[in-house]
Amino acid sequence: MTCAKAHRLVSAWLDQELSAEEMIDLENHLDACPSCSILASDLARIHRAARMPATAPIGDDFLIGVETRIAASRLRSRRCRWSAATLPRMGLVAAGVCAVAVLALTSNPRQRVSEFTEAEAETNLRMASMQSVGLAAGDPLEDVAIASLTAHVAAAAESEDVR
């Protein structure tokens, strides 16, 4: 990656708008290039400052909100205690279900292969859907909303929702 390209990408990097490949490329460049690294850290400081919330006086509404949330969290913690009592029982049930699943999978290899290939096909469909939406987003003669709806139809059909 050239310094010029790195300069172009730094802002998008701070906004988390880079793809994984671009991010890896840029970070590799920043590790190797001191001048770009300085620029990136300067921009990061500005970025952080811009996002820092402005200080404001605390009003009664805010305090009432905090008290309400504390009360709600107490209620939740009571529910958690109940959960702690039932956890061992649920653990036993889960272990049983897992054992049955393992037995079922190991006793019928044909079914396992079939499920495996289905999972692979689903992965392919998911990737194809996202890629199709991505390409539509970059094509003036395509419509991203239609591509997204088509992807949804495909996913629903794969899970037998659409007939």
Partner 1 sequence: MWRLLPRARTSGDQVAMRGTAFSRTLITALGASFMLAHSFAQAQVLPRPPARERLALQLLHRYLTAGQFTPYEAVQVTQTFGPAALESRQIVKYAGPRRQRIEYLSPPALEGNILLIAGSRILNFIARPTPRIVEGGIPDAARDTARDELRTALRVGRVAARYIGTQLVAGREAGVVEVRSGDGSPFKRLWLDNETGVRLKYETVDASGNTLAMSYMTRISYRPSFNPADFAPASLPPVRALAPILSTRPLRSVAEAEQEVGYGVRTPILPPRYHLVSVWVVGGRNPRTVFLRYSDGVNSLILSQRPLRDRASARATPSQGKPLRSFRGVAFWSSSERSYTLFGNVRPALLHAIVASLR
The binding site for partner 1 (CB under 8 A) comprises 12, 15-22, 109-110, 112-114, 116-118, 120-121, 123-135, 137-154, 156-158, 161-162
Between 94 and 128, whose beta carbon lies closer to partner 1? 128
Smallest distance from the beta carbon of 63 to partner 1, in angstroms?
26
* Distances in whole angstroms, Cα of residue 16 to Cα of each of 82, 129, 135: 41, 22, 20
Between 88 and 106, whose beta carbon lies closer to partner 1? 106
Between 48 and 112, whose beta carbon lies closer to partner 1? 112
Smallest distance from the beta carbon of 64 to partner 1, in angstroms?
25
Between 17 and 42, whose beta carbon lies closer to partner 1? 17
- Cα end-to-end distance, the chain, whole Å: 49
The string of DSSP codes covering 100-132 is: HHHHHHHH-HHHHHHHHHHHHHHHHHHHHHHHH
- CA quadruple 144, 13, 124, 162: dihedral positive or negative? negative
Structure tokens at 28: 């590799």
Between 35 and 131, whose beta carbon lies closer to partner 1? 131
Structure tokens at 11: 């802002």
Smallest distance from the beta carbon of 88 to partner 1, in angstroms?
26
Smallest distance from the beta carbon of 34 to partner 1, in angstroms?
26
Task: State CA 132 to chain mean position distance.
Answer: 19
Smallest distance from the beta carbon of 114 to partner 1, in angstroms?
6
